[in-house]
Amino acid sequence: MLSKAERTKQMIVEQSAQVFNRKGYSGTSMSDIMEATGLAKGGIYGNFRDKDELAAAAFDHTYQKVLLAIRARVLAEKTAQCKLLAIFRFYHNYTVNPDFPGGCPVLNTGVETDDQIPFLKEKAAAAMQEMLQSLQRIIQKGIDTGEFNTGLDAKLEAALIYSVIEGGIMMSKLSDQPGILNKLLKHLKKEVEERFVK
């Protein structure tokens, strides 16, 4: 069981993670974090050295939440096709999913930090690689087991799927139209069914 101190630290991460994912690293102020956590400055700095340490923990928290939710769905499926479709279902209505406020942490942190803030860029880049490699592994396994066409380039297909999902999240959030992402996911499903499966 977590001690009271550990619970406080956990609460700070959870509450500030939502703020960081919505407002970005630069847009999040200490008063935003104080407001989200209900703590005074001393209560936050007693647990985290500075804004950077908290921002790093907040990114890990938001990203792990997405990763674990996807992983649970993927592990529940047997075939490569079903695993990919489970990922697409996870992202259905993602931009209005109350469990993941603020959108995709990799996209948000990645786009903000790619020209600056190296310690966060590194985290977002590693998360992106992990996502791409997971997709690639699923597709490659589908090819290796004879479920998918041997002509597929697993690395390219993984990048295509990820670009459509991330680009779709950007478009849906910016236009406040969850349907744009959903329509793209429907297309990805069709691609897997018609072009991937033997």
Interface residues with a copy of itself (CB under 8 A) are 22-27, 102-103, 106-108, 110-112, 114-116, 121, 124-125, 128-129, 132, 156, 159-160, 162-168, 170-171, 173-175, 180, 183-184, 187
Give the residue with the Cβ less far from a copy of itself, 82 or 160: 160
Distance CA 18, CA 20 (A): 6
Distance CA 183, CA 177 (A): 11
| Distance, first Cα to last Cα, the chain | 49
Give the residue with the Cβ less far from a copy of itself, 41 or 195: 195
In the complex, least distance from residue 142 CB atom to a copy of itself, rounded to whole angstroms? 19
In the complex, least distance from residue 124 CB atom to a copy of itself, rounded to whole angstroms? 6
In the complex, least distance from residue 23 CB atom to a copy of itself, rounded to whole angstroms? 6
Give the residue with the Cβ less far from a copy of itself, 9 or 84: 84
3-state secondary structure of 197: strand
Distance CA 103, CA 42 (A): 30
Give the residue with the Cβ less far from a copy of itself, 37 or 108: 108
In the complex, least distance from residue 108 CB atom to a copy of itself, rounded to whole angstroms? 6
